[in-house]
Amino acid sequence: MTKAAWQQWHDRPEVEGTLVERARGTLGEMESTKQLVDLISDVWRPGMRVLDVGCNTGHYLRGLRRVAADLDYTGVDAYAHYIDQAKEIYADDPHARFAVRDIHQPLYPGERFDIVYCCNVILHLPDFRTPMRNLVEATSNTLFVRTLLGRATTNVRRAMSPELDDEGVPVNFVYQNTWDRDVVSAFVRSLGCEVELIRDRFDPAVLASEHDSLKDGRGTGVIGGRQHDEVVLFDWEWLKITPTGG
């Protein structure tokens, strides 16, 4: 794939280095994993197939095994180095498979999964519409999306290096976009779906501790009970999306 300026994961897999440890079980699961497990537990039934879009090294799967030891799981990510690591980590799991897929393209054309989820991905993309359409088209029962939502859309480019182009735009950056929840909800409904917004749930003390112990005081932290990265406050929400066939 051709690397865009915002795709820091293309040649810098260490950007998400702790997720390898979480996938291996040598580091505790993320707070979002706990809520995801609860959300999926409410809708999963034996025999259902689950698709994890933007799976990285498959760290969410370790939590999903609490739902069912034989839960049928497929993880996809745009970056082959993460998929290769996931295949190695879960080599002995007969109910897990991994593949390289780009969320900007149809994920499994003509095929649908009972439950699809996409966590902490949409905020890092330049636009949510094509990815959201591809997620919906891959879902037969329930889609969960965790991202930043607010009362207005705010596009943020978080510089990953000090270099700027001639217009003052960071040469290397990641998006940390907050999307207008009403705009996102209306778009999802236009795809023939019902949508429910669910507030994110996490323990601020856990995030604060990890900020100090795992990140050496860099990256995302907690202020006033809210997650932040430097001056940017993160308002996480979940969308529970149900295709209606309309």
> How far is the C-alpha of 209 from the C-alpha of 176, rounded, in Å?
22
Residues 71, 58, 223, 164, CA torsion sign: negative
Residue range 151-195, pLDDT digits in tens: 999 999 999 889 999 999 898 899 999 999 999 999 999 999 999
159 φ, ψ (degrees, to nearest 5)? -65, 135
pLDDT at 100 over 80: yes
Tokens matching residue 61: 């799967």
Residue 13: per-residue pLDDT: 64
Domains of the chain from N-terminus onward: 13-201+235-243 (3.40.50.150)
Residue 229: per-residue pLDDT: 83
Residues 17, 171, 119, 98, CA torsion sign: negative
Taking each helix axis from N to C end, the angle separating 181-190 and 129-137, rounded to the nearest 10 degrees, works out to 40
Residue 61: per-residue pLDDT: 97
Residue range 119-157, pLDDT digits in tens: 999 999 999 999 999 999 999 999 999 999 999 999 999
Within 10 Å of residue 62's Cβ, how many Cβ atoms? 19
Residues 36-45 have a mean pLDDT of 97
- pLDDT confidence bin for 231, thresholds 50/70/90: confident
- pLDDT confidence bin for 46, thresholds 50/70/90: very high
Please give the angle made by the CA atoms of 123, 125 and 127, to the nearest 5 degrees. 100
Contact 147, 236 (CB under 8 A): yes
> How far is the C-alpha of 82 from the C-alpha of 20, rounded, in Å?
9
Task: Give 174's strand partners.
Answer: 158
Q: pLDDT averaged over the chain?
A: 90
pLDDT at 246 over 60: no
The Cα-based distances of 108 to 98, 111, 131, 146 in angstroms read 13, 5, 13, 21
Q: Which residue has the tokens 């735009």?
A: 169
Q: Which residue has the tokens 């330049």?
A: 126
Residues 84-110 have a mean pLDDT of 96
State what percent of residues in the chain have pLDDT above 90.
70
> How far is the C-alpha of 146 from the C-alpha of 199, rounded, in Å?
10
